[in-house]
Structure 1
Amino acid sequence: MGILLIPLIFILFLIHSKVKFRKLREGSKKLLATVVEYRKERGPMRNDYTLLNYPYVRISTEDSYYVKQKLKYANNWDKPFEIGQEVEVFWCGSDLLYWYAYETRFFKYLPSKWSFWR
């Protein structure tokens, strides 16, 4: 019984994370950004500060200035975007988040609302 309970709790946590992310994204403006570089930075992962590949993107503004900002979408196995690739992002407070963060890998198979049984 306990063996089945742990994966169920983990899946429910992932669904909760996706639902919360979608609510954050709902009221935000989608921006287009270009990946300009990657930097290895320390990031918390399983109580261990591991070096992660953080993409830095350039966001062009209306008055032809641009902002270079760290995208909070890190990975320690590979680099999810190519240099020069355009990605859709949004601001959440002072963090820049990838628009499709929960639409990739196994996250795309999780429901995006709690009312998934209807």
Structure 2
Amino acid sequence: MRRRFVWMGAALGLLAAPGLAAAAEVETAFAAMDANGDGMLDVDEYVASVVGHFATLDADGDRMLTLAEIDEADPAEFAKADRDGDGMLSLGEAVGDRMVRFFEADASRDGMVTLTEINVYLEGLE
């Protein structure tokens, strides 16, 4: 079974797939993204993480991601993020898709997400 394209983590560049990630995986990914160690992810930390993870996934270095390059991707979620329908994700499409999820997870609407908010968000996706 393929994981959902949640990509919030190992870099929210991929927290993990809902229902498939152990709490420890989510916590480890969150800590790696929390550059200033304040227990919250702000937009800058989040975007930096997404950009870094995008580069890691871009196996052929063409600055585009295909479904084949993201082995944990759900094809339907990938297609949803692929705004222009060309079968590839540009960095802009990837960041845009992740930003929507960032603000969905930000239950307090303060422009930051906590580990608790992310866990609640991921539970809601199951």
TM-score with structure 2 setting the length: 0.26
TM-score with structure 1 setting the length: 0.27
Which structure has greater helix proportion?
A: 2
Which structure has greater strand proportion?
A: 1
